[in-house]
Each structure stands twice: as C-alpha cells, then as structure tokens.
Chains A and B, each alone.
Chain A
Amino acid sequence: MKVGANLSLYSDVRSRNDSAWLLPKAPGFPHQLRDDMRRYDEADEVDIVIVGCGAGGGTLAQRLARAGWRVVALDAGPFWDPETDWVSDERGSHSLYWTEPRLISGADPVPLGSNNSGRGVGGSMVHYAGYTPRFHPSDFATFTNDGVGADWPISYDELRPYYEHIEQELPVAGQDWPWGDPHSYPFHAQPVSGNGDVFINGCERIGIRARVGPVAIANGRFGNRPHCIYRGFCLQGCKVNAKASPLITHVPDALAHGAEIRAHCHVSSVIVDEHTGHAAGVTYFKDGVERRQRARMVAVAGYSIETPRLLLLSTSNRFKDGLCNDEGQVGRYVMVQGAPQTAGRFESEVRMYKGPPPEVSCEEFYETDPAAPYQRGFSIQNVSPLPITFAEHVIAQGHWGEALREYMRDYVHWASLGSLCELLPLRENGVTLASEVDKHGLPVANFSYSMCDNDKQLMVAAQSKMEQILRAAGAIETMTIQRFAHLVGGCRMAASAKDGVVDANQRTFAVPNLYVADGSVLPTQGSANPALTIMSLAARLADHLVGASHG
C-alpha cells in the first residue's frame, strides 16, 4: 500500500464497491448475505437477466444492482464457498472447470477445461493465475496500423477510466508500468520467489526490462481480505480470499444491493418476442426442469464458447440460423493466445511451486517490430506449473516411462516462463454446434482452431526469446511445450452489423435489448491476459445502460 494513499483509495473504492468489506474476517464467503439474498419469482419481469456470473456478468450485476436495477444473474455452476469447496490440490480442483462435454477440432485443436473455462459464480477468474495487464492503445487499431486483425469501434481512451477503477477494486499490485499507456498500480509489487528471480536476472543480463506484476493480489490486507500466504495454488482457486475474482470482488456488493444470483441454472435459450423482436427473458434448466425468467433486458456473459453456443441454440422463425446470426458472425473470430511455456533447469533449487504463479512480466515485444517478418507481438510472464502440469511438459518432449520419472524427480530445479502471443482473429476459427448433446439434450459446442503463418512465426520467436532469457539466467537445459491460453472473440464488437454481433456499446445489432457482456466481444486480443479488459468493458457497459435509462 502506498503511504498516504490508503484513505483516499479506500473511500474511492467503497463509493463504488464495498465487496472487500462485506466479506467475513474469517475465511470463506459471507453466508448471511447469501441467506438474505433477494429472490425474484420467475413471473416477475426483472430489469435485466444476466447469463453467467464471471468477469463480465459478475461485474455488470454489481454495477447495475448498485444503480438500483432489479438484477437476476444465472450461472450454470455452483455458488462457491472458497473455504469448504476448494482444495489446495491440483487434481482435486476439477470442479472449478467447465467439464460439460465439448469437442475440439481444426489443425490446432485448443484444449478447454482447466486451460481457459470456468464454471460457477466467479467464472474462470476463480482459477486464472491473477495477471491483470491492460491492453495497449495499439491493440484498438491493429487493422489500420499493422494491416492485420481488426479495429475496435472504441479507443483505449474510452476504456482507461474503467481500467483505473477495476484496478483499484481488485486491487492490482505491481511496479510502475512502462509499456503501452504508462501507469502505476494501487499496491506495490509482491515479493518474488525463485522463479521470479530467474526471470528478472535473465532479463537484466540481456538488457531488456522486466517488471513485477501486474497481479490482482493485494500486497497487504484489503478490507477484510487477508494477506496472501504465498502457497502457490492460485490456479486452483484462492482459499485465502487474497487473489481477486468476481466472487469476492463484486458479487458481495451485488448481493448487498439486491441482486439475485441463482446458481446451478443452465440457460438453454434467449426468448425473443416474435411480435416486438425484443428479448423477453431466458429459459434455463434447474435440477433437470426447464424454467423461465422474464426480463426487460438480457445480457449474455457466458464467454467465448458458451455465449455463441447459446445464441446458436436460440432459434426461432425470425432467427432460423441462431439469434443475431443474420450475417453469420456468431461464433466467428474466436481467438486464443499462443502460449508456449519454456522451462529451464538450474543448479539451484527453484521450487517454483512456492509463491503465486503470477509474478513478473515483460512487454518489450508486445507491438509490431518493423524488422521482424511477422506482425504484432508477444509478452512473457512467469508461470509455475504444479507437478501434474509439469508432467505434461515432460511428456511433450516425447519422454515416458523411466525418462518421465527422472525428469519429474528433478522438478525442484526447474523454473518456467510462459509467453502470450497475439494470434490473429480468423473468421474460420470458432464455435459451431456439434451433433453430440449434453445432459439436457442440448447440442454441445465444437470449437475449431487453426493457426495462420503469422501465428506460427510468433510462437517460434517467443520460444526463442524465453530460451535466451533462461540461458542468460544460467539454465543448463530448456524444454518447451506448445500450448494455448485464454479465449476471446466469438461475438465481436464492430462498427457495423456485417462485421460483428454487437455495437460499440455491446448491444446486439439484431435485438435492441440484448447485450453481450463478456470476452466474446473483443475484436482483437493483444498479448495481455483478458480478465481486466473484460471486467472494464462490463463496467463501461453498466455506465452506458444506467446513463441510457436516465434518458
């Protein structure tokens, strides 16, 4: 915490969002708030029904509830209690992921589940590492400036105030940030572990900048949230309540302001009135029974796989090919970041399982390098695979049997870096409905993904830079696993209906009271982890909706 800044930061945050002070001082979730939660009848026409309660839906619910809206948010998964539902164990954290069936295909199929898909209140931020970088101003006009990707219908400047607000509410800790739009963070950076030391040393030796952060874990107490205990299980859900997720950063305040968050509700369609052409609510399955919730407005926030799937499932006479899909844009341009991870073997013990996996970042190679044969770039961050994930790294080298066991016995000597490469949005990459169905009989998503040449060149360049850093830090051996991270796109924001599903205010072009409030609206992805941007967009959307309702 920066000296002298406490009081003004706290009062500023609490004027928008009291969540950190509504949590119990003991571990867990405030059960009284849940017991006292307002409950609407399904015949009530609420002001808005929100589908999905993660980064987008959770933030939107909090903002609108605080503005006095009657809000119901539905989530397919559980309403978590971090103390009793989550475990400090890699294998035991299976229930945090979206594990309903999904198919993956294409030339470069992208694993889902633990990699990028959440389920339950808090969404995938429950098991994200905790990195919360901003996008760079250059991300908003890559088509104009780099000749690739797409231009956003909004600029960085329109998002900046929301970045600042959300960074305070999470809150984010990190060193002063020199890249993109230079800025500082509300909390000083965390101390780093051996894994972070290796990264910083390597960068120093080759003369590039690295910075600690930006990580959504307060360096200190924050409201009733305790200090991080550096136990290293950020990707398994933070039992401590130190790492931010909407479950603890926005949901408590939403409940305190009268939002209803209905868990274990799998939304099966958006209802559109055939006469008015307006959304009238949703249908959903709860305990195997199909129910309805009426609403004056609907916001879909199911993320890049489930949001397109829901729109494609919501067919009617008017929308025979799926809701808002007149231009064939639903489910298109889904993006993942190329995320090769390179591990280095050191004489010293690194014990990378200690400390939060998110520690140090480098955005030196984020923008297009005019000397390189590819457009756009990549970032590099610490990652710290736990044993099961590290075994995947070893298997990826072709080892099995004795060799696998021997590499794994050496686990404490390895440090790891991960890259995020800006893979380009391609129309063919995306979500369609499969013939396979889920337990409700609804067709599941088939996510097809194939890389283009620019993508492949970026992955190679990122790997080579990570190897260089690790060697400079003293690694005597390196190994790299090719993988992907994050999801965005699928219902992108565009200036006109022929290029996207929603407009600059995230309203669907086809249905005037239907909004998309998650990462699927992103037209490009930069080399930044998307959580902060998704939350900031949701906060901006809320301001727009509240402003519009005041006329």
Chain B
Amino acid sequence: MLYVEEEILTHPRTLLIRGRFPDDEMIPCARYGEVFNRRAQSFRLQKRRPSLILARKHRNFVLDAPPGFGIPETKSLYFSHMLNCIYDCRYCFLQGMFRSANYVVFVNFEDFQWEIEAKIRAARGGSGGSGANGARNGDALPLFFFSGYDCDSLALEPVTRFAATFVPFFARFPDAFLELRTKSTQIKSLLDIDAVPNVVAAWSFTPEEVAEVTEHLTPSVDRRLRAMSRLAERGWRLGLRFDPLIYDRSYRERYRNLFAQVFSTVPVASLHSVSVGPFRLSDSAFRTVVRLYPEEPLFAAPMAEDGGGVTYPRDLEQEMVETVTADLLSHIPREIFFPALSTPPAGSRERETGSGTAAYEERPSGDDA
C-alpha cells in the first residue's frame, strides 16, 4: 500500500515515487499521523509487510545532535527525510520507537535544504565568513550534518533519490559536511557523480556471524565492503562504524576476523573516520525491543541498567571496547579514530546515532505528525 498526504499528491517527488509503484494502490490521507501514529498497532506484525507513506514535513527539519556526539571540534546536527528503516536489525533503537513499522518519506526535500542552507549561512555569519576549517557557527565550529538517524541513508535510494538530491546540494557548501550512514549497497547515485570531498559515506558493521542473525534483510558484510571498495576507487571519503559492539563468547576472534575482512577490501587512505560503539539502549527502548522479540539471543545476554540506559555490564563493555579498539588501531592511524561517532563514551549515557545502531532516545521535539 502507498499512503499519500492529500496536500502533496501532485508534488513532483510524490509523482516520481508513485511512478516506482505503478501497481500499488494509492490511498490518500489528510496527515501521515492518521496512519502512522494510531494506537493499537503491532510494530512486529507490520514489519512483515510495511507500507510506504509519503508526507510533507512542516518544521524541525534540522536538529542538534546530543552533546558529545560527533567529531570533536565540529557542531553536529541531524535531519531525517525518512522515518523507519527497511532493514530489520534487532538491536536498533528504531525497533518499536514509532507505533508503526511503515516507512514515512518526507518528500519536501527542498524545505530541508532551505533550513540546512540557512544554518550554514548563519554559521558563516557567526564568525564573519567561512574558512578552511568549514562552516562556522557562533562557537566557530564546522557544521557536520548526519542523515542516517531515523532511517538508513541509502537503503531506499532508488525510490527516494535522497543522496542524488542532497549530495550535489552539499557540494555547493564545501565548508559543511554530510555523513550518509548506511548498511546498503545502493550506491549508484554516488557512482554517477564525482566524489564530493565534504560528504562521507559511512557503513555500519557487526561481524558476519552476528549480522546473519541480528541484521535481517541487510546486505552481507561482503557486499557492503564491495560497495565501499567501488566508492573508494572513485575517490569518495568513507566511514566505518563498528556499532554496536555485540557480545558473544567468540567476540574477540569475530571482530579480529571482521577487521581483517574489512581492511583487505577498504583502503585505509579512503577513510575519513572510524568509530566503535558499545551496545546501548534506553530503559524504555530496551523494554520495547525485548517485548517485541523476546526470543532474540541478543537480549538473553547479561545486561545492566546504567544511568537510564541498558548496556552490557560495565566491566564487560569496557573489556570489549578496549579489546576491539586495540585490534582496530592495528589497522588504522589513531587520527581517524573518533569513538564519539558511535556511542558516547561510558559515563555519559547519551544517545547514539546512525543506521542500525542503538541510538538517540529522545524524539525530536515538535514532531509534526
């Protein structure tokens, strides 16, 4: 089923997307919340056969990332052109974050771009113009925009043309950065254009054995790596997000093998940044996901409540982070290792970000559903 808000029935992007589904019944609705936010919905049942909802976003196009998230000496912001993910990663905070498992795509990309541009220009104005270090805000920090928060940035690219629209847009603002976070192999939009230096395509990974049982519907690790390799050949800047770290009695060997697999395919020189983040969900998100999937071995592991979140016990988490980080740093220079691109460090129980990560808990304020 394809639900479309009445006010965007004739929006050009609506028409393009509808053209991708000529056989699907189109159901007009007044506001997407009529479909998406109703009570009495089963996320688990809907995940079997999600529908697509096309909507218009009215406000809050760009939001601040939580304190501590991002690359040091930058200001992190995020925006979500889509709600929910076509993948089914059991550890992801998106499992049950919304009442519905349907996908919402906001078609008014132009309004996102207006606000992004305004923020970039305001940041420049804040310091009297841009410099070599990027767009400047009042604190004179470069702006770094993240798009893979409420969805996977590229997974629905053939339908939404999100990257095809936003990457050229960001090419106009070399002093700001965009991270596309994904597990997808939908890279054609990027291959069709020259590499944009201020755009980072970042892939999330868990070891193959973990991915096979927890990351349903995602491309295999090998296919993701081949996508990265093709982009590296074309000069794109890449990111690696080993996030969330998943415990298994063989985790050391699994991550060692994963790194060997990754770095035999992805040239280190192509890497913009690498991060590692432990598993972490808020209490409420953890309760939700356990209620949805009580049969998941992932959630049968020992967990501890810590500062409003649920994590592996602190000793175990610390051991995993240290072990995996040490392995990782045998492959990459420390200069491109940014743990805060994944889960905030232990002690600051903040949110995480990105495709398939245990992530931000608080919803953006003023959701306009």
Whether chains A and B associate is: no
Q: Which A residues have a C-beta under 8 Å from some C-beta of B?
A: none
